[in-house]
Amino acid sequence: MVQLLNRIKLLNNLENQQPQLEKATFVMLVRNSELHDARFNKNFHYPWLFLNDKPFSPEFIHMTRSLVSGNATYGRIPKDAWSMPDWVDRQKARECMRAMATKNILYGGSESYRHMCRFFSGFLWRHELLADYDYYWRVEPNTQLYCDLTYDPFTYMRENNKTYGFVINLLEFPSTIESLWPTVQNFSREHPEYIHPNNALDFIVDGNKNITEGGYNNCHFWSNFEIASLKFWRSQAYQDFFDFLDRTGNFYYERWGDAPVHSIAVSIMLDKEEIHWFYDIGYRHHPFTHCPEPKQEFHDSGRCYCNPTQNFDRDPYACTKQYRHMRGDLGVPGRVPGILEQPVLNLVDRGKGANGLRTKLKMSTEGLELMPGDEGAAQLLKIEDGEGK
């Protein structure tokens, strides 16, 4: 693996300061073919758990064990966690996928992408190899970290009673989750006891409305980076929530993502104080970058090496405004209100489509594009013929 964690770096003497590591692990869902998409820093000594729906190759195991600083474990995803459940009408699901692919909806024709979203939504925390852990840090291939870490994020989570941590928030494509919010509303009516009185509803519902009155504004935490408590996903409240959603079949009839599912759950079930923005962790997952902006603290000091003008937090497609509103204008930890008021990146052609949001994005600073329907995204849109037969 050549480019995954460019920097996960604690102070060199961190182990001497904190000889007892938390009950935590890195988790990566990865294919054998992605072996060369990552690099690991040897200063971070937490274990790694690699998961795959296929057996890992000897080459993958040999190389990753030589790269990581902690112990490495390799797990297979159970078939029932990576396949359509019995109550899903396969023919109907395939027809829905074809229809979404025809409309150029991102991953609209992908069955494996739906397996992944359902797995992260409801099965990751059930995996037997996670049974001994309280926290995990989800890491994906082809991501970069841009800042030195001078503390242990897992210890921070525990000591500050944090349950869910993120770095990027943004809008979901409405065409992928058309019935998700009505389903959540129905769940809230059946289980009002699970709705926290000091929740983060203002992040996902505009206008200070309650769950049953307000509509979903499509904001979510981008879950390809998340540091979270496994105790929450294992709770009866979340298990009931996931099962309620899963029985609809809409992980397959639509294309419900684990990001909005996780985000809605933590926003309505947790105390808002349990949600943490790791603002000080520079991060990139194509095509978006989070780069801490204060120059003296993060850049003059040499702590971060990203370009703050590429910080996605300022973009109109980000949900920074909604998060700051939910936090009482304290969305940037330790920063003065207003630091993210003016957009730096341009969102081009954010016109209204059939579902109110066009998926054609262009980021002017790097020329990056995410344009379903164009050649570069064709493989994400096509029907996976023959898969799962």
- The residues annotated as belonging to the active site are 226
Torsion 315-136-143-30 (CA) sign: negative
The label of the residue with tokens 């029985």 reads: 247
Cβ atoms of residues 31 and 25 within 8 Å: no
Question: What CA–CA distance (Å, rounded) separates 143 from 151?
Answer: 21
Q: Which amino acid makes up residue 149?
A: L
The label of the residue with tokens 């989750």 reads: 177
Q: Is 370 helix (H, G, I), strand (E, B) or coil?
A: strand
- CA proximity to 47, closest of 27, 20, 30: 27
Which H or E element spans position 73?
strand 72-76
* Strands 368-370, 219-221: pairing kind: unpaired
Question: What CA–CA distance (Å, rounded) separates 288 from 258?
Answer: 18
Q: Which amino acid makes up residue 138?
A: R
The label of the residue with tokens 């897992």 reads: 154
**DSSP one-letter string for 86-147:** TTS-HHHHHHHHHHHHHTT-TTTT-HHHHHHHHHHHHTGGG-GGGTT-SEEEEE-TTEEE-B
The tokens for 258 are: 């684990």
Question: What CA–CA distance (Å, rounded) separates 320 from 206?
Answer: 13
DSSP letter at 78 equals: P
Question: What CA–CA distance (Å, rounded) separates 192 from 24?
Answer: 31
Question: What CA–CA distance (Å, rounded) separates 1 from 68?
Answer: 10
